[in-house]
Amino acid sequence: MGVSIEEVKKLRDLTGVGLTDAKKALEESEGDFDKALEEMRKKGLTRAEKKGDREARMGLVDSYVHDNRIGVVVEVNCETDFVARLDDFKTLVHEIAMQVAAMSPQFVSEADIPEDEYARVKQELLESDALKSKPADMQDKIVEGQLKKHFADKVLLSQAYILDDGKTVEAHVKESIAKLGENIVVRQFRRIELGVSE
């Protein structure tokens, strides 16, 4: 089945894959654009996972001020200065600053949660009355699930993305990695709210 060059280009632009891959995906999906898009996104995200180990030291520092009451500064890194200057990357960094302003996370990733804080919450959950009534072999799994849920809103990358709550911030960053072809790392952020001190 023949596919139009316009659809091939559209698929390439949306997923960041090459023209040949985009054409092949459309042909394999028998011209079903949505099906081809889904398959290419899966492949793109797989490639994004592989790029995650590459060093990212370039990037941008961006700020966002909401209603003169909340101010945010974020640092997001990529691999090259070229990508740092692209509008897609600048948009991503600004969206992350907006996310921090709106959702007030405490940590960038789960790895940033202090061990003593994690241990304290875990101990509280282990000692809860609700857990004692559960089978012993299930308690650890239950606590792990409760810990993930407890910290989900506190961890930036685990939060639901404010512009599309069907995915996490981490998934949104991985989509950008797939599209831009470089590793992207949210390095740090600072959030200041008028009248609120840490």
Q: Strand 164-168 vs strand 160-161: parallel, antiparallel, or unpaired?
A: antiparallel
The pLDDT of residue 133: 73
Terminal-residue alpha carbon distance, the chain: 61
Per-residue pLDDT of the chain (198 residues; tens, 9 = 90+): 567 788 877 776 666 666 677 778 888 888 787 787 777 666 665 555 555 556 778 999 999 999 999 999 999 999 999 999 999 999 999 999 999 999 999 999 988 888 888 888 888 887 777 777 777 777 778 888 888 888 888 999 999 999 998 999 999 999 998 888 888 999 999 999 998 876
Q: Show the tokens assigned to 162.
A: 């404010």
- The strand ranges marked E within 28-104 are 58-66, 70-78
* 156 and 105 Cβ atoms separated by less than 8 Å: yes
The pLDDT of residue 157: 94
Q: How many residues does the chain have?
A: 198
The pLDDT of residue 41: 66
The string of pLDDT tens digits covering residues 123-155 is 888 777 777 777 777 777 888 888 888 888 899
What is the chain's percent helix, strand, coil content, to nearest 5?
Answer: 55, 20, 25
Q: Show the tokens assigned to 16.
A: 């960041």
Query: Which amino acid, 78?
Result: C
The pLDDT of residue 50: 56
The pLDDT of residue 100: 97
* 60 and 184 Cβ atoms separated by less than 8 Å: no
Q: Show the tokens assigned to 74.
A: 């974020």
